[in-house]
Amino acid sequence: MTQELWNAVDEYLDGLVVRPDPVLEAAQRAGDAAGLPHIAVAPNQGKLLHLLARMRGARSILEIGTLAGYSTIWLATALPPDGRLVTLEVDPRHAEVARANLERAGVAGKVDVRVGAALDTLPALVAEAPFDLIFIDADKLNTLAYFRWALRLSRPGSVIVVDNVVHRVAYADTYEEDDEAVRATRELLEAIGAEPRASATVIQTVGVKGHDGLAIVLVDGTG
Ligand code: SAH
Ligand code: DHB
Ligand code: MG
């Protein structure tokens, strides 16, 4: 009933305000053509990531969950010329599509796509930390572990954004009662709420991606 309205409003607002460029649209199409799932952030969410990075003056960004590199491009274009972005992706096919998209977008020189399960590739990033902005958008089962890593790879003033923090808890009864991703999301939200080293909010969103939400966390201290 409402999804059609949300789609129409997103399209209206995107046309007026977001104006995603042909490079971003080409990246989406390349992902579609390669048969990748259609689960990238929406254009207005990508622009939110871009704006948060610029507001923060981010020079180093970490992304967990690359897919075709759509959110990666939004984030990378927010970096200064000497900025850098590391993005972690478990599926080599996704990484390959993303690398081509990043090349086409002219940001390949500042982006490092690392292939492997994020829990295996995160430890090496201790040597490259801190990151000014960290976007968590990979498998939901490990989302709490990723948040803990994000805190570890942050400094005071770093921003952590977590995608998809509402859908599974809002619609828990449409999942199996013991759905692990529902439990994982609840555990993440509890940990964010209880984290003494960070200030956070969670915003519900509706739009082309349905009803979901983003957690936005400002790291106050890492001690
Ligand atoms: N951030 C992207 C969408 C990411 S979709 C965008 O908005 O454009 C989630 C991605 O996480 C998928 O490509 C999936 O292959 C990847 N992923 C799943 N499990 C992972 C893991 N354990 N480590 C790293 N990446 C993982
Ligand atoms: C799914 C994953 C996402 O990261 C997202 O934004 C939407 C859906 C999924 O796995 O279904
Ligand atoms: Mg997501």
Ligand 1 site: residues with CB under 6 angstroms? 39-41, 65-67, 70-71, 88-91, 94, 117-118, 137-139
Which residue has the least CA distance to atom 2 on ligand 2? Answer: 39
d(C-alpha 142, C-alpha 184), whole Å: 7
Query: Which domains does the chain carry?
Result: 3-219 (3.40.50.150)
- Bridge-partner residues for 63, per DSSP? 87, 135
Sign of CA dihedral 138, 94, 127, 85: negative
Nearest CA to ligand 1 atom 7: 40
Atom 11 (ligand 2): residue with closest C-alpha? 39
> In terms of Cα–Cα distance, which of 193, 167, 191 is closest to 179?
167
Type of residue found at 223: G
- Ligand 1 mean position to 54 CA, how many Å? 23
Give tens-digit pLDDT for 13-55: 999 999 878 999 999 999 999 999 999 999 999 999 999 999 9
- Residue 223 scores a pLDDT above 70: no
pLDDT digits (tens, 9 = 90+) for 93-136: 999 999 999 999 999 999 999 999 999 999 999 999 999 999 99
Relative to the CA of 65, which ligand 2 atom is closest? 4
pLDDT of residue 221: 83
Q: What is the mean pLDDT of residues 154-158?
A: 98
pLDDT-based confidence at 1, cuts 50/70/90?
low
pLDDT beyond 80 at 178: no
pLDDT at 177 over 80: no
> What pLDDT does residue 20 have?
76
Cβ of 137 closer than 6 Å to ligand 2, yes or no, is: yes
Mean pLDDT of all residues in the chain?
96
> Does the beta carbon of 63 sit less than 6 angstroms from any atom of ligand 2?
no
Residues with Cβ < 8 Å from 192, sequence gap 6 or more? 147, 162, 198, 200, 202, 215, 217
